[in-house]
Amino acid sequence: MIKVAELDELKPGAIKRITSNGDTLLLCNVAGEYYAVKDLCSHEDFPLSYGCLKGHDIECSLHGARFDVRSGLPTAEPGEVAIQTYPIVIHERIIFIDN
């Protein structure tokens, strides 16, 4: 597990890019619930961190593909393949990603 943030560090609707062990991940705060996904659009291998959250969807800024951060499943074309998700653990107000 990697420590990525303190609980009040990321405001609702915000995202944070994290690099660990050669992987680039994205921490997302959706209305106080935290999710982590791989920072890579499955459509064109473009960083999702350049995009924005729209509810539970992360939208790629390159072509508008959207993915549900809870499941990784695509919710809008041209996204067709799910993105990788990672479990979140919160312990003593510290957010960890289990990668």
Per-residue model confidence (pLDDT) at position 48: 97
> In the predicted model, what is the mean pLDDT of the chain?
95
| CATH number corresponding to 2-97 | 2.102.10.10
Distance CA 17, CA 28 (A): 9
pLDDT exceeds cutoff 90 at 99: no
Q: Where are the domains of the chain?
A: 2-97
pLDDT in tens, 43-64: 989 999 999 999 999 999 999 9
Residue 83, φ and ψ in degrees, nearest 5: -95, 160
Distance CA 66, CA 78 (A): 8
* CB environment 42-64: b (16+ within 10 A), e (fewer): bbeebbbbebebeebbbbbebee
